[in-house]
Structure 1
Amino acid sequence: MAGPVGTGAGGDAWLARYSHSLMGVFGTPQRVLVRGNGAVVWDVDGNEYLDLLGGIAVNALGHAHPFVTSVVASQLATLGHVSNFFTSPTQIALAEKLLGICGAPEGSKVFFANSGTEANEAAFKLARAHGKTHSQPGGPARSVIIALEGAFHGRTMGALAMTAKHAYREPFEPMPAGVLHIPFNDIAALRDAVDETVAAVILEPIQGEAGVRPLSAEYLQAARELTRAAGALLILDEVQTGIGRTGEWFAGIPGAAGNDGGPCADAVELPDAVTLAKGLGGGFPIGALITIGTGPSELLSAGQHGTTFGGNPVATAAALATLHVIESRDVLGNVRRVGAALAAGLAAIEGVTEVRAHGLLIGFDLGRPMAAEVVRLALDAGFIINAPRPATIRLAPPLILTDSQARRFLTALPAILAAAARSISSTGISTKGEPS
């Protein structure tokens, strides 16, 4: 891997055109990427990068996986889009497959969307429908949705209302009413909050955008018990953690097929609903809301929710192909092995103060707010990483990352950290990294 690298004349020209024609909601892109293979990508100037972010936990099988690309091309050449006035074999097969992986009982259902925020928007409506259906006559309205401080559930208005970060919410207030954010991993606060006014509790088993923070097994078990006792739904947001990211199919569903003891294993019985996206399509946009059991699955009736593109034949074919490869190539085993080695290597590096690793979802702290400078210097050295917090780096590489690729990053990181520390000390830079 050659380095250091940066934007050349070709990249600068494309970025100028980008600034002229696209909304600035993402700021200036770091590079103009044109090609990928496995866990490696190349930019328009020919520079090579090890992708340790995977499109923010999306590219489960890396870039241009031959089986996934062949399935998508074949499906697109056969039947691309039909609208939801019709269905397709791939849509039905994927729903059946997901229900099987979850270990979902008879009566469970799936709704397909295009993204994680859309899946969570559907979950928001599911919660409100549950509240209306289960409010007692003459009693208080059951409309409150509980989320956690540090939560990120998306950027559409319902999902944004459940997202905790003030900077995301403030420009668009007032938010949809009735969402209560309570302290993270605080069972006492959860117990105080869950009562007959609560329609649902939505939790990320591991908060990725907050720096890879896991909920405890005890908290997840308490959430299941308290919501059941109060007649509220328990919804798990596995948009970032689902589909093998942690080395298990799901982080918060110990009964899922093939789960051997993930970070939340034995922590919680099946929730009432689960949201998925990101890695599900292996890079192709798809999201899903899975409702567990007959009750939650009957809350939304015909005409109450919908989507034009959700569950289209190409997206569902891509997801089926991704799941097939994960199952048939021991990808979950690779995630556990390489993730453990990467975590151990990070913990041994001077300047890394804490490592929180769950398979190939890894957050590590630097002890000082220099994460954005580390990201910049890592990119120049040929590594794509992310700074969700000022002093935290997040890694979410393709699940097929190899041992040698992990070692390459570990070998380069000490020099990157040292250079970032010098840069911060000499210039006073304290640029904050933000989640995407």
Structure 2
Amino acid sequence: MSHVLQTYGRFPVTLVRGEGTRVWDDAGKSYLDFCSGIAVCALGHSPKVLVEAISSQAATLIHCCNLYHIPQQEELARVIVEDHVRLPGKVFFSNSGAESNDGLIKSARRFGHARPQPDGSPRYEILSFNKSFHGRTLGGISATGQDKVKEGFDPLPTGFRHLPYNDLDALRAATRPETVAILLEPVQGEGGVNVATPEFLQGIKELCSEHDLLLLMDEVQAGFGRCGDPMAWREIAPELEPDGISWAKGMGGGFPVGAFWLSDRTIDGEKPLSSLMGPGSHGTTYGGSPLACAASLAVLREISEQNLIENVRARATQIRETVESWNHPLVTDIRGLGLLIGIGLDTSKMTTPEGKLPAIHLSAELITHGLLAPPAGPETLRLLPPLNVTETEVSEALEIVRATLDELTA
């Protein structure tokens, strides 16, 4: 009998060891891991640089609170701002993507007080999108455009509305005096691997400028190289300048760390936007610890020094060209950006046991053949290999996918 709260419907495999792109279960069977902890293990399992960084820092100083200066935190913030975002701003460190998004939500509310409606009442409403996912906190599920994550948790915090993704006309029509920000994933991961169009992102930025709204990017799953650029939004719309960005997952390579960034652009003529979140406005016990920041620094440096962005682009092209060449009857399309890839499934032609969702059934069958790859909704298989995955490993994984699809073709 398990004493773990049953909040997950787990696949029947128990993982005990990992190295690179492979993991092993408690029976000694190995698997190619194209889940990567859901886009977390950016360098694969137990990479030397991360193990050494954690070991060295753990032997020096694991934790101190944020009442004191933390040099690793200062360095990580500098690297993120100067080398990755490449726009002036400030960073707050958290422990997870949900916390990072809550920080963006709070920042938007604070902005709505500083820049109120014409009658002086604060602006508070955040617009997000159908099929989005922004975390499991009450704030995160309120911002999420999927009803299934909200069931049984009402009444939820108010001030959120959800609109069709990539529909600029609907967004324009929905903007009201109380609207303060637009929050979106440049690539929706959990919602089916849907990519924002350049026109949509540029139109959002113009709408934000016109109505004095904040543009907030959720890059928790997409950021730090997974989509072919350190910032996923820049791979789609290079000239865009967001007001806030959230991250977690891959930035720690498996160690829990998250962050959000706020722009230094001026509001009211002289005050930086980032200054609205001053002392007492936000806090964390564990966020930005010496150990977490040392781990993240090691991961981000390895991504940069090994030029893993180029590998992401090459392997993404390999996956797309290979899957397209199959002309498989179960494959409807290939969506995504970089190594955040979704394979759409024609479930009408797929053999699926009664009561099981097609994508979950496919993921379970792939496990029996030695591949871990998670679903993204009921009709999409997601591929999230490490950023340093090799050409040979991709070929091996795709052979497993193709053979399994053949088996499930009705």
- TM over 0.5, yes or no? yes
From 221, 237, 246, give the equivalent of 1:240: 221
What TM-score does the superposition give when structure 1 sets the normalisation length? 0.88
Percent of residue pairs identical: 38
Tell me, yes or no, if structure 1 residue 197 matches structure 2 residue 178.
yes
Whether the 8 Å CA contact 1:353–1:365 is kept in 2: the answer is yes
Gaps of 5+ in 2: 266-271, 348-356
Measured after TM superposition, the shift of residue 139 of structure 1 is 4.6
Tell me, yes or no, if structure 1 residue 27 matches structure 2 residue 24.
no
From 164, 169, 191, give the equivalent of 2:145: 164
Measured after TM superposition, the shift of residue 170 of structure 1 is 2.1
From 113, 135, 148, give the equivalent of 2:94: 113
Tell me, yes or no, if structure 1 residue 279 matches structure 2 residue 266.
no
Measured after TM superposition, the shift of residue 234 of structure 1 is 0.6
Measured after TM superposition, the shift of residue 140 of structure 1 is 5.1
2:36 alignment partner AA: G
Q: How does 1:244-255 map to 2 (within 5 A)?
A: 244-252=225-233, 254=234
- List per-residue Cα deviations over 1:114-157 (Å, max 9, x = no partner): 00000001111011111111104525541111001111000101
Q: How does 1:81-230 map to 2 (within 5 A)?
A: 81-106=63-88, 108-136=89-117, 138-139=119-120, 141-230=122-211
Whether the 8 Å CA contact 2:194–2:336 is kept in 1: the answer is no
Tell me, yes or no, if structure 1 residue 343 matches structure 2 residue 343.
no
Distance in 1 separating the partners of 2:289 and 2:120: 42
Distance in 1 separating the partners of 2:317 and 2:298: 26
Whether the 8 Å CA contact 1:273–1:296 is kept in 2: the answer is no
Distance in 2 separating the partners of 1:188 and 1:399: 36
- List per-residue Cα deviations over 1:177-222 (Å, max 9, x = no partner): 0101111110101111224321111010010111110111011011
- List per-residue Cα deviations over 1:336-386 (Å, max 9, x = no partner): 101110111112221212011411110011111622221111000000011
Measured after TM superposition, the shift of residue 66 of structure 1 is 0.3
Tell me, yes or no, if structure 1 residue 265 matches structure 2 residue 230.
no
Distance in 1 separating the partners of 2:242 and 2:144: 20
Distance in 2 separating the partners of 1:345 and 1:104: 34
Q: How does 1:14-93 map to 2 (within 5 A)?
A: 16=1, 20-93=2-75
Q: Secondary structure at the match of 1:170?
A: coil
Measured after TM superposition, the shift of residue 164 of structure 1 is 1.2
Whether the 8 Å CA contact 2:224–2:251 is kept in 1: the answer is yes
What TM-score does the superposition give when structure 2 sets the normalisation length? 0.93
Q: Secondary structure at the match of 1:348?
A: helix
Aligned to 2:346: 367
From 353, 373, 390, give the equivalent of 2:378: 390
Aligned to 1:314: 291
Whether the 8 Å CA contact 2:249–2:256 is kept in 1: the answer is yes
Measured after TM superposition, the shift of residue 103 of structure 1 is 4.5
Whether the 8 Å CA contact 1:60–1:399 is kept in 2: the answer is yes
Measured after TM superposition, the shift of residue 50 of structure 1 is 0.2
Q: Secondary structure at the match of 2:155?
A: coil
Distance in 1 separating the partners of 2:87 and 2:128: 26
2:26 alignment partner AA: V
Q: Secondary structure at the match of 1:242?
A: coil
Larger mean Cα displacement after TM superposition, 138-147 or 76-85: 138-147
Whether the 8 Å CA contact 1:195–1:230 is kept in 2: the answer is no
Whether the 8 Å CA contact 1:135–1:142 is kept in 2: the answer is yes
Whether the 8 Å CA contact 2:84–2:224 is kept in 1: the answer is no
Change (3 A) 1:200 1:371: same
* Residue correspondences, number: 393
Aligned to 1:430: none
Q: Secondary structure at the match of 1:81?
A: coil
Distance in 2 separating the partners of 1:300 and 1:328: 33
- List per-residue Cα deviations over 1:145-177 (Å, max 9, x = no partner): 100111100010111110111111121011110
Gaps of 5+ in 1: 1-15, 255-261, 423-436
Aligned to 2:352: none
